Structure 1
């Protein structure tokens, strides 16, 4: 997959630092977990405040 994309820094540009393990885990696990938590809260909030009552 990465063979099609040249992974080199352009001349005159500073070298890009390699991401740390914490940065990688934040992107791969933290951000999706935060989005899932927001969606879960938005889905459950009506029932917490009485808006999801059925008769």
Structure 2
């Protein structure tokens, strides 16, 4: 897969340092975890705020 992509710095461009383990883990684990947390919060927020309204409706009917 990486055979088609040149992994050398082009002439005239500054050298790039190899990423550290912490930087790699942040990109590979931290960013997807943060995105998943935001999606989870957005998905659960309506039930957090709508549960009280549903209880009030049930109490008024009975």
Structure 2 unmatched ranges of 5 or more: none
Report the structure number with the largest CA radius of gyration.
2
| CA-atom RMSD in angstroms | 1.8
Q: Following superposition, which runs of at least 4 residues in structure 1 exceed 4 angstroms of deviation?
A: none
Larger helix proportion of the pair: 2
The residue number in structure 2 matching 1:48 is: 48
The count of corresponding residues between Structure 1 and Structure 2 is: 54
Query: TM-score, normalized by length of structure 2?
Result: 0.79
Structure 1 unmatched ranges of 5 or more: none
Offset from partner CA, 1:1-55 (integer Å, 9 cap, x none): 11010111111111111000000000000000000000000000000011684x7
